[in-house]
Amino acid sequence: MAILNSIRKRGFFLILIIALALFAFILSDIINKGGGNGASQNIVATVNGKELSREYFMGKVDAYQRSLGPNANTSQAMNTVWDRELRTLLFNQQAEALGIGVSEEQLNETLALSLSNNPTFQDENGIYSEARVVEYVASIQNNAVAKQQWDEFINGVKESILQNNYINLVKSGLSTTVAEGEEQYHFENDQADIEYLHIPYTKIADEDVAVSDSEIEAYMRKHVSEYEVDPIVDIQYISFAEEPSMEDIEAAKADMETLKEAFSKAEDPVAFIGENSDKPFADRWYFEKDLPAALKDTILKVSNGSVYGPYTVEKSLNISKITKTIQLPDSAEARHILIPVGLSKKDSITRTPQQAKAFADSLLAVLKKDKSKFGDFVTKYSSDTGSSEKGGHYDWFGYNTMVAPFRDFCFEKNIGDMGVVETQFGYHLIEVEGQKNKKEAYKIATVTKEIEPSEATLSQVFSESAKFEEAVRSGDFTKVAEEKGLTPKPVNKIGKLDSNIPGIGYNRTLVNWAFQEDTKVGDVKRENINNMYVVVQLTRKSDKKALMSIAEASATVTPIIRNQKKAQKIRESIKGTTLQEMASSQNVATKTANAITRSTPTIAGAGTEPLVVGSIFGKAAGEMTPVIDGETGVFAVRVVSVKKAAGLESYAPYVNQLKTAINANAINTKVFNALKKAADIEDNRADFY
């Protein structure tokens, strides 16, 4: 009822929006079919000449999204499938070029490992059996769904083996030599004592060293790989929320007062809620400590059966009353046997809901005569791995811990009671083993009404957003907004495949609009999104890979250039040839540092300075390094002594140390990234999502 009323209020706007959407869809289809060739419109991507078709890719995305559940994000599913399919394509292409394959022995060995704990593929002794695999494959030949699932599983196993074979070839080329082990030993154990001069960059104030935009741009062009970004757009927007006015709120309160009187007289509160509330009846018990915050200090003070409210929770008005009171334990313990609908993990039998319930009932009948068999039945039949090892037992748990049917049986029945209840997991045969700390509990009926904007308010918001859109199409977006007392909200660096716009939420329509070829900087679009109108202006557009803007790069590039300039000034100001003469010219004292190693290139009093430490070990005792631009300042160093560690008979521990540092997962990721970088990839996903 409440939903229908909401639809009626917005009827005109819903019809208008649906009509516009249908028109846009038809127009888009005509335009798309009118331009370009059909083949290109059916290709999601091309990877080194290999095409990924729309039907195949979208089918994979849909299947993966379904596996994630009803609230899964399409972009998340699409990106996951893309990474998986791209990985498969790239590794398969490499394997084909190198003649790498998957042998039957490898496949069988991998299946033996992955299926060894599945009872379907075990013999009577619980041991993995290839014969059982053959039997299973033969049994599903007339079951299209099961056969497809098995084929996909086998293909996935083969792809995994193929990729591992390739990665193992790469790893085999990353062997560590004895010479490298010896070098690592000396890196860790050779030591140097030094006397040094350190003139920190902070000696010169930042404001005394100017860095121009042209210098930042020049630096980026010398380091393109570090500052190149994918195609991006920037936007700014103003939102007009479809929120209730004060008049709407007062009208809603008046309606709720009328509903309150009827609710107080209702003989069946649950039915009344079903007909009048925007939220269903919450069929549960509340202890005083668990009452909703809005009711905690009020509902227990009203007389029995009286209605409390209306009160506001977020954007809704509510009225509540206590309908029942009972003594309930605040915790319970129980044991159970779970008989699932579908494939059972324990006996490998697939049961319909009727068969699962009938089987649970048959076990209950046996246990009512002989409870001593409960533990044996858990071991043989229960699919709840979380409790099977404890004889199906769950230790003391609170009222809100378990799913509702399981909870209600354990808390509302008596100790020793046994019965069968249904949950989303299947059928549970439960025995209540304990209850404690009985307290007063309350069942509360609540009527909730969302405070909706009236049709007049919706019309006003629609009109305001339309007038603003018209004004900014011919005027300055920021000035028009300021004249109306509004502040534009900027969103920068939106990627071509991004889907979430801060402040707006999920919206691929706006992203696609911004990247369309005919959308230019300054263009404006109005969109109805999540109960608000947004008027968006495109403020920057980069269709191809390009250097990031100077403003974006400034935070990282400016300190680098500034320190380079400071280093030059400091070097020019240093006089003398000895360390003491140099220090005197800078009015600073020299310092000493001992036991410096290359593996930990830290200088006491100066910090981590790998370039300086590396230069130290290139000099003999008594020699000086040239003036060095370090991480924190300018250095000059005199080597006091170098203590080279004595040689070892075997450097095997250091060889093994280096081998251990080669992380398999890191190699996998680096190889994949290297293949992506080297590949010729035409990514058209944005045309379909």
- Does this model's pTM top 0.85? My answer is no
For residue 6, pLDDT over 80 is answered with no
Residue 40 has what pLDDT? 53
Digit-coded pLDDT (tens) for 646-670: 999 999 999 999 988 887 778 888 9
CA distances from 522 to 110, 471, 560 (A): 58, 13, 34
pLDDT tens-digit map of 310-353:
999 989 999 999 999 999 999 999 999 999 998 887 877 889 99
Q: Domain 244-452 - what CATH class?
A: alpha beta
Lowest mean pLDDT among 22-26, 308-312, 677-681: 22-26
pLDDT category of residue 26 using cuts at 50, 70 and 90: very low
Measured CA distances, 195 to 580, 611, 684 (Å) = 10, 16, 60
- What distances in angstroms separate CA 57 from CA 85, 157, 270, 565, one per listed residue? 8, 20, 47, 53
pLDDT tens digits, 410-430: 999 999 999 999 999 999 999
What span, in angstroms and rounded, lies between the C-alpha atoms of 429 and 257? 46
Closest CA to 687 of 27, 28, 17: 28
Mean pLDDT, residues 163-177: 88
Most confident stretch, 54-63, 206-215, 546-555, 654-663:
206-215
- Rounded to an integer, the average pLDDT of 229-233 is 89
Tens-place pLDDT, residues 290-302: 898 889 888 988 8
Q: Do residues 628 and 634 touch, judged by C-beta distance below 8 A?
A: yes
As separate numbers, helices (DSSP H) first and strands (DSSP E) second, the chain gives: 24, 25
Across the range 21-29, mean pLDDT stands at 44
Residues 6+ apart with CB under 8 A from 329: 411, 435, 436, 437, 438, 439
pLDDT at residue 29 greater than cutoff 70 = no
Three-class DSSP labels, 377-445: HHHHHCCCHHHHCCCCEEEEEECCCCCHHHHHHHHHCCCCCEEEEEECCEEEEEEEEEEEEEEEEEEEE
Lowest mean pLDDT among 124-128, 275-279, 344-348, 665-669: 344-348
Provide the mean pLDDT of the chain: 89
pLDDT beyond 60 at 17: no
Task: Name the pLDDT band for 671 (thresholds 50, 70, 90).
Answer: very high
Class level of CATH domain 41-174+662-689: mainly alpha
Residue 606 clears pLDDT 80, i.e. is over it:
yes
Digit-coded pLDDT (tens) for 153-166? 999 999 999 999 99
Kindly tell me if the per-residue pLDDT of 18 is higher than 70.
Answer: no
